[in-house]
Amino acid sequence: MTLRALKDAAITALVALGLFVPLVGLRTDVGPSGELVLRQRWGDVVILVALAFVGRLALLGWRGWRGDPKPASAARTEALRKAGLFVAPVLLGLAVLLPFIPGTGRYELDLGILVLTYVMLGWGLNIVVGLAGLLDLGYVAFYAVGAYSYALLATTFGLSFWICLPLAGLLAAFWGVLLGFPVLRLRGDYLAIVTLAFGEIIRVVLLNWVSLTNGPNGISGIPRPTFFGLTFSMSGEPDTFAGFFGIEPSPVHRVIFLYYLILGLALLTNWVSIRLRRQPLGRAWEALREDEIACRALGINVTTTKLTAFALGAMFAGIAGSFFATRQGFISPESFTFIESAIILAIVVLGGMGSQIGIAIAALVMIGGFEVFRDLDEWRMLVFGGAMVLIMVARPRGLVGHRTPSVVLRERRAIGAEHVAEGHG
């Protein structure tokens, strides 16, 4: 046992050595007179390799001590479900009250808006990935479509935010259907690759179609949202928010308004997902994730069912996109890179595919944590990568891996993660 572990750790160290010699051991720097000099850092390599060796040994030791991981017992799954019932209202209450909690300033509200945007995106993508089991790596494309739809409609035609919001959602859904039609015949990895490419294509088009999108310079001067026609300007006129309600004008009003706006939109996403999950359409999505062939044998039109999931997910991304545009006042293709898709997908997977509360917590921890640890600079990515790996090792099905039945005859009991399928595309 110990010998095996030592051998295993030695192999790990060897692999680490092979990796770190070129990556860390050799480094080119610009010398004093502008020429390249090769610097050797063998000390660092030794430290890293030793770390890999010790780390692997510790991991093996821990595994041996803990024994084989067993699926969470029914009782534990059940306890977790009950805890979720309790945590969800608390989190919701906190979210609603946040602007009034003493000590909440501009920074906290901005962070709250950011987190809620990702919560909404996570819930939207959850329809596609978590419920229907379709791996979509290009989700940010629909976010971009929504953002540009609002920006262009508002700056060219002067349409108001409240008209553009549903329009942006519909346009994104339309693109979702357009992409979905040819693509949804593909399964698993192939679907993932094509959606990934689609996300990049949209970004490249936005970059290069300069006459429409202004290319890399982006679109600026996007109208800010109004409170049912009342603007948030500082002038205090009767047609502004502050003037109408007779309060002191303050820049925080707009931030609070934006905060509640995204909270409302996120909750709408949540409400629709939860309602749909208990209905034939949502059940068909989950059935599709579990077994597509059985669905076909039951007379379910697999293509249209997948398309509705794709379109609905895209719609919520589009709505979130137009919120993003109105909040920033400026958008450019920079904001819609692949890393955004990856972050949203990570939120869904880490939170537990299909679980609303799990995704909310994952978004809070990931996005909030990302901001809070800003001081760590480049170590931030490393810390988060490590944290994600740890979560996936400890809870391979995400924070909340169990599934709650959509309909019950007698008593509602959670379904353990070991039974629930991830879907194959």
Partner 1 sequence: MATPILETDTLTMRFGGLVAVDAVTFTAQRDDITAIIGPNGAGKTTLFNCITGFYRPTGGALRLFRDGAPVELHHLAGHRIARAGVARTFQNIRLFPGMTALENLLVAQHNTLMASTGFGIGALLGAPRYRRAQKAAIAKAVHWLEVTDLLARADDPAGALPYGQQRRLEIARAMCTDPLLLCLDEPAAGLNPRESEELSALLRMIRDGGCSILLIEHDMGVVMGISDRIVVLDHGRKIADGTPGEVRADPRVIAAYLGEGDEGEDAA
Is residue 112 at the binding interface for partner 1, with CB under 8 A as the rule? no
Give dist(CA 336, CA 356) in Å, integer: 24
Is residue 294 at the binding interface for partner 1, with CB under 8 A as the rule? yes
Smallest gap from Cβ 323 to partner 1, in A, equals 22
Pairing relationship of beta strands 219-220 and 330-331 according to DSSP bridges: antiparallel
224 vs 283 by CB, closer to partner 1: 283
Cβ atoms of 316 and 364 closer than 8 Å: no
Among 168, 183, 276, 363, binds partner 1 (CB under 8 A): 276
Is residue 295 at the binding interface for partner 1, with CB under 8 A as the rule? yes
Residue 158 phi/psi, 5-degree rounding, is 65, 25
Is residue 36 at the binding interface for partner 1, with CB under 8 A as the rule? no
Cα Rg for the chain, rounded, in angstroms?
Answer: 25
Among 68, 375, 377, 411, binds partner 1 (CB under 8 A): 411
Among 224, 395, 413, 424, binds partner 1 (CB under 8 A): 413
Give dist(CA 77, CA 377) in Å, integer: 38
Is residue 75 at the binding interface for partner 1, with CB under 8 A as the rule? no
Among 4, 76, 106, 419, binds partner 1 (CB under 8 A): 419
Is residue 403 at the binding interface for partner 1, with CB under 8 A as the rule? yes
Among 272, 342, 387, 388, binds partner 1 (CB under 8 A): 272
Give the residue among 175, 164, 187, 143 at the shortest CA–CA distance from 321: 143
Decide: helix, strand or coil at residue 146: helix
Residue 73 phi/psi, 5-degree rounding, is -65, 160
Is residue 297 at the binding interface for partner 1, with CB under 8 A as the rule? yes
Residue 227 phi/psi, 5-degree rounding, is -85, 90
Site string for partner 1, 228-267 (x = CB under 8 A): ----------------------------------------
Among 302, 387, 388, 392, binds partner 1 (CB under 8 A): 302
Is residue 415 at the binding interface for partner 1, with CB under 8 A as the rule? yes
Give the residue among 127, 126, 129, 161 at the shortest CA–CA distance from 147: 161
Long-range contacts formed by 161-169: CB under 8 A, 24+ apart: 161/223, 161/225, 161/226, 161/322, 161/326, 162/225, 164/322, 165/319, 165/322, 165/323, 166/319, 168/318, 168/319, 168/321, 168/322, 169/315, 169/316, 169/318, 169/319, 169/322
Among 14, 301, 329, 385, binds partner 1 (CB under 8 A): 301
Is residue 78 at the binding interface for partner 1, with CB under 8 A as the rule? no
Is residue 268 at the binding interface for partner 1, with CB under 8 A as the rule? no
Among 202, 286, 345, 356, binds partner 1 (CB under 8 A): 286
Is residue 406 at the binding interface for partner 1, with CB under 8 A as the rule? yes
Instruction: Name the DSSP letter for residue 216.
Output: G
Smallest gap from Cβ 6 to partner 1, in A, equals 40
Query: Can you name the residues that pair with 240 across neighbouring β-strands?
Result: 231
Among 21, 291, 387, 388, binds partner 1 (CB under 8 A): 291
**Tokens 């609070």 map to which residue?**
256
Smallest gap from Cβ 273 to partner 1, in A, equals 11
- Helices 188-208 + 338-351 axis angle, to 10: 140
Among 296, 372, 373, 389, binds partner 1 (CB under 8 A): 296
70 vs 410 by CB, closer to partner 1: 410
Smallest gap from Cβ 126 to partner 1, in A, equals 15
Is residue 129 at the binding interface for partner 1, with CB under 8 A as the rule? no
The site that binds partner 1 (CB under 8 A) totals a number of residues, namely: 39
Task: Provide the residue type at 425 as one letter.
Answer: G
- For residue 385, how many other CB atoms are within 10 A of its CB? 10
Which residue ranges make up the site for partner 1 (CB under 8 A)?
Answer: 272, 275-276, 279-281, 283-284, 286-287, 290-291, 293-302, 308, 403, 405-413, 415-416, 418-421
